[in-house]
């Protein structure tokens, strides 16, 4: 699964905590007839504002939080905004 890093925090001297949001991309094309009617432009503005507020709320929530070793974090040179892929594997109990 692909995630976008939204927050990185030093947990202690040995570990870093990384907060991530699932990477989902979607886009729609705006029909030209919307631009011809002022009322439609106002309605579109309301919808865009609502969508923006919803997107801001989603950014405040995290889909995944992982703790990684500081050395691994340094080697990968992770930054906020980077897209990473996380793989979960079943392992034997130790």
Q: What is the pLDDT of residue 61?
A: 77
Strands across the sheet with 64-69, in order? Answer: 64-69, 15-22, 2-10, 83-85
Output phi, psi for 44, to 5 deg.
Answer: -60, -40
Note the pLDDT tens digit of each residue in 80-91: 999 999 888 888
If one compares 60 and 78, the residue with the highest pLDDT of the two is: 78
Note the pLDDT tens digit of each residue in 18-56: 989 888 766 565 666 666 778 888 888 888 888 888 777
The C-alpha atoms of residue 59 and residue 51 are separated, in whole angstroms, by 12
The C-alpha atoms of residue 5 and residue 18 are separated, in whole angstroms, by 7
Q: What is the pLDDT of residue 72?
A: 93
The C-alpha atoms of residue 18 and residue 48 are separated, in whole angstroms, by 30
Note the pLDDT tens digit of each residue in 64-73: 889 999 999 9
């Amino acid at each position: 699964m692909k995630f976008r890093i939204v927050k990185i925090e030093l947990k202690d001297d040995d570990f870093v905590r990384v907060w991530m949001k699932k990477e989902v991309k979607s886009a729609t094309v705006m029909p030209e007839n919307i631009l011809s009617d002022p009322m439609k432009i106002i309605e579109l503005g309301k919808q865009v504002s609502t969508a923006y507020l919803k997107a801001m709320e989603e950014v405040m929530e995290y889909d995944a939080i992982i703790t990684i070793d500081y050395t691994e974090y340094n080697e990968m040179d992770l930054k906020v905004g980077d897209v990473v892929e996380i793989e979960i594997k079943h392992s034997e109990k130790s």
